[in-house]
Structures are given as structure tokens and as C-alpha cells.
């Protein structure tokens, strides 16, 4: 059994985040020792590692909840898990496209500025007036 501090160290998840996951129902509320310390099992450590990795991949709490539920039914087909992962891939690709547009626009406005004074600075002007942008990067 691990204390919450040991669980945090072994998984790299901060203690407040562990408590948050418990409140959200992603991680079961731990047992308590006689001294009222939280105690976590190997299974809970594995679950927390699963949650951490899913969050690193950008999955939402709801998607993680669905995946945890699916993992409790190993006999089910994995089509639903595939759908969740594919949706996240689509979301990531959309973000990458938006970031590429931001990169182009930021490069354009930073290289367009040739002033020595803020009053004539193109960066400041472009940020104040979206019409000066070359693309719609929202």
C-alpha cells in the first residue's frame, strides 16, 4: 500500500491532482489507515498512471471516464476505444493547423516591424487592429 505522497512520487502526479481525480470519480477514494492516512493499492497506482498518460495525450476527463469504464469490460470490442482515440487525433490535428496559422502570422508581424520606437511598432499596431493580419488565424 502506498501513501498519497508515495503515489505522487511514483507516478509524477501531484497530490492535489490525485485528490481532484478522486473527486471526479476517475480514481476510487482510497482506504484509510488507523492514522487516517490515505492508502493506495497497486491497481490504483496503475489507474493513476493510465489517467496521467491519457491526460498527456490531451484526452478530456469525460473521455478518460469512458475509457476507464470500457477497461472494466475486457470482453467488449474495442471499437469505442478506437473512436475515442480517433476523435482525439482529429482534435490534435485541428490544433496543429491553428498553430501553423498562428506561427505564420506571428512570423509575418515580427519581421514586418522595422521601427525603433513603439509608436511606430508594427507588432503593436497589428495586435490593436486585426485588419492588419494577413490571415484569419482564430
Instruction: Judge contact between 135 and 98, C-beta under 8 A.
Output: no
Provide the β-strand partners of residue 40. 2
CATH classification of 1-76 is 1.10.1660.10, yes or no? Answer: yes
Torsion angle, CA of 82/83/89/90, rounded to 10 degrees?
Answer: 160
With the C-alpha atoms ordered 66, 67, 68, 74, is the resulting torsion angle positive or negative? positive
Give residue 94's pLDDT: 95
Overall pTM surpassing 0.85 (yes/no): no
- Residue 39 confidence (pLDDT): 87
Residue 40 and residue 7 in contact, taking contact as beta carbons nearer than 8 Å: yes
pLDDT in single tens digits along all 138 residues of the chain: 889 999 999 999 999 999 999 999 999 876 776 676 778 999 999 999 999 999 999 999 999 999 999 999 999 999 999 999 999 999 999 999 999 999 998 898 888 877 788 888 888 888 888 888 777 766
- Per-residue pLDDT, 33: 67
In 12-129, at which residue ranges do the beta strands (DSSP E only) sit? 31-32, 38-39
Amino acid at each position: 500500500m502506498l501513501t498519497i505522497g508515495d503515489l505522487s512520487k511514483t507516478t509524477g502526479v501531484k497530490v492535489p491532482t490525485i485528490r481532484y481525480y478522486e473527486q471526479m470519480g476517475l480514481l476510487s477514494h482510497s482506504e484509510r489507515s488507523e492514522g487516517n492516512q490515505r492508502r493506495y493499492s497497486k491497481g490504483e497506482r496503475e489507474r493513476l498512471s493510465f489517467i496521467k498518460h491519457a491526460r498527456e495525450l490531451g484526452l478530456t476527463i469525460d473521455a478518460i471516464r469512458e475509457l476507464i469504464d470500457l477497461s472494466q469490460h475486457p470482453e467488449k470490442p474495442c471499437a469505442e476505444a478506437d473512436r475515442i482515440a480517433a476523435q482525439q487525433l482529429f482534435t490534435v490535428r485541428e490544433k496543429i493547423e491553428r498553430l501553423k496559422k498562428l506561427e505564420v502570422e506571428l512570423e509575418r508581424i515580427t519581421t514586418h516591424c522595422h521601427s525603433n520606437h513603439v509608436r511606430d511598432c508594427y507588432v503593436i499596431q497589428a495586435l490593436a487592429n486585426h485588419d492588419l493580419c494577413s490571415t484569419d488565424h482564430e
